[in-house]
Amino acid sequence: MREILRWLFNLSGKELDEATAAMSKDTAKQRLKLVLIQDRLELAPEKLEDMKKEIWEVVSKYMVVDDDFMEFEVRRVDDLTVLVSNIEVKDLSDLTPAPTG
């Protein structure tokens, strides 16, 4: 098949590789998506702070967690931008089912 394409379009091997490779605009889009996520988060540190507070509030509804210790950051792992949070749990008792009757 490849040979037929080459013959048909009179392409060198390199040209054929380029023609069948992913379109460069898709690479651009993919890279920009990630960069923009990071830029936008950096742009609004107060928003990041608000989110941190709200997440802490939600978690503390279900378990007793440390007031101070909370790691919270946006990090890039390979192709993904991830939100990493570590919260120290003090007491899990709220998670045990309430006794019935």
Please give the residue ranges that form the binding site for another protein (CB under 8 A).
23-26, 28-29, 31-33, 35-36, 39-40, 43-44
Nearest alpha carbon to residue 65 among 86, 84, 90: 90
Measured from the CB atom, is 12 or 93 closer to another protein?
12
Measured from the CB atom, is 45 or 99 closer to another protein?
45
Shortest Å, Cβ 39 to another protein: 6
Shortest Å, Cβ 36 to another protein: 5
Shortest Å, Cβ 68 to another protein: 29
Inter-axis angle of helices 2-9 and 13-20, nearest 10: 110
Measured from the CB atom, is 5 or 84 closer to another protein?
5
Q: Which two tokens stand for residue 18?
A: 């380029």
Shortest Å, Cβ 40 to another protein: 6
CB 72 within 8 A of CB 85: yes
Q: 18: burial class by Cβ within 10 Å (0-12, 13-18, 19+)? A: exposed
